[in-house]
Amino acid sequence: MTARIEYRTIHGYRRAFRIAGEGPAILLIHGIGDNSSTFDEIIDELARDHTVIAPDLLGHGLSEKPQADYSVAAFANGMRDLLVVLGITRVTVVGHSLGGGVAMQFCYQFPRFVQRLVLVAAGGVTTDVNPVLRLASVPGVPLLLRGLRLPGVAPLVRGTARSLARIDDLPALPERLTPRAMITDHQDLLRIVDELTDPHAHAAFTRTLRAVVDWRGQTVTMLDRAYLTERLPLLVVWGSKDTVIPVHHAALTGAAIPHAQVEIFDGAGHFPFRDDPRRFVDLVLDFIATTEPIEFDPANWHALMSAGQRLDEMVGDDDLLGEIFEALETERSVS
């Protein structure tokens, strides 16, 4: 079974998506600067007993790249609109990186659509993020990235990364700071960099990045609404060597959402579903098979939102809970 690429025009913009299979629906949401092809190694396997939809977010991949709203909320709206056009009313949502933040926002905005949630190296847990992304959000810096379009620059970057990846660990440096560790995901990141040589893709990337990251880190976080997942089956997946968003965020998510199932792929980076696609597929399919899909209950939703966040229901040691409380205070800050 092979996923096919289809298009729909929604609100005047052409949106591309991969689709395969029949059965209960799974929605795959990719990360910033990426596209639905990132899921190529898992779509067909997931589609054996499911309908799998993997959109290219607006501004990404084969979708149009207008001067539009590239906020997390707007991306969640786009997921809802595509599902409506396709006639799909219930989905298990799988979100990677920025797509994890979009998936969480989707669950908050459109709970009637959601059966289960899988967060993969998800953005939006705390402000922590790779310093390169912080720097890229600073006004003026994106102009430097346009240099990628100059002849010979992109191949030079790829060659340098491959050389660094082959360097053995250096005794004078901690393992996490060695060249090989710092570019764990270099092949996938270079794939994304190649996309940015297109000026329209570059502009959309910059707009998207500035909507979720500034010089201090991630600006859109989810901990303040995590309590709304109380009845939602939730799987959290992270790579132990993620250099984009720290693996520690998996522990924070598990502490803030105690019923979440947390799985760490040892040795994997920011793309665990590409590092070990077989394990990822088996994990997701088992998660779907062993959990009951949530049915939206307006009364329960009203009760949850009326009661608000319950800090005493979080679990973990004092240090972990202290980090969560500090992150929540940071969310409330206007500075």
Question: pLDDT digit string (tens) for 50-86?
Answer: 999 999 999 999 999 998 999 999 999 999 999 999 9
pLDDT score at 335: 56
**Is 36 one of the catalytic residues?**
no
Work out the average pLDDT over 9-33.
96
Residue with tokens 């960099």: 193
% of the chain with per-residue pLDDT over 70:
77
Q: Which residues contact 193 (CB under 8 A, 6 or more apart)?
A: 33, 148, 154, 157
Band (186; pLDDT cuts 50, 70, 90): low
Under 8 Å between Cβ of 118 and 280: no
Q: Kindly report the average pLDDT of the chain as a whole number.
A: 84
Q: Catalytic annotation on 270?
A: yes
SS (H, E, C) 94-155: EEECHHHHHHHHHHHHCHHHEEEEEEECCCCCCCCCCHHHHHHCCCCHHHHHHHHHCCCHHH
When comparing pLDDT for 152 and 209, which is higher? 209
Distance from C-alpha of 89 to C-alpha of 74, rounded to nearest angstrom: 19
Question: Of 97, 137, 185, 202, which residue is the catalytic one?
Answer: 97
The per-residue pLDDT for range 285-312, each reduced to its tens digit, is 999 999 999 999 999 999 999 998 888 8
Choose the catalytic residue: 30, 50, 202, 270. 270
Q: What is the mean pLDDT of residues 8-15?
A: 96
Q: Of the given ranges (139-148, 239-248, 251-260), which has the lowest mean pLDDT?
A: 139-148
Q: Which of 34, 188, 242, 275 is catalytic?
A: 242
Q: What is the largest CA-CA distance in the chain?
A: 60
CB atoms inside a 10 Å sphere around CB 158:
16
Q: What is the CA radius of gyration of the chain?
A: 19
Q: Answer yes or no: 242 catalytic.
A: yes
Q: What is the mean pLDDT of residues 227-239?
A: 95
Q: For the residues 28-45, what does the mean pLDDT come to?
A: 95
Q: How far apart are CA 123 and CA 249, in angstroms?
A: 9
pTM for the full predicted model: 0.86
Quote the pLDDT of residue 34. Answer: 93
DSSP string, 217-280: EE----GGGGGGGTTS-EEEEEETT-SSS-THHHHHHHHHSTT-EEEEETT--S-HHHHSHHHH
Question: In this model, does residue 173 exceed pLDDT 50?
Answer: no
- Contacts of the segment 257-262: beta carbons below 8 A, 24+ positions apart: 257/226, 257/229, 258/313, 258/314, 258/315, 259/230, 259/234, 260/229, 260/234, 260/235, 260/236, 261/234, 261/235, 261/236, 261/287, 262/236, 262/238
Partnered with residue 8 across adjacent β-strands are 15
Three-class secondary structure of residue 47 per DSSP? coil
Euclidean distance between CA atoms 232 and 83, whole angstroms: 20
Q: What is the mean pLDDT of residues 22-27?
A: 97
Assess whether pLDDT exceeds 70 at residue 189. Answer: no
Handedness of CA 88, 91, 96, 98 (dihedral sign): positive
Q: Which run of H or of E encompasses 79?
A: helix 72-86
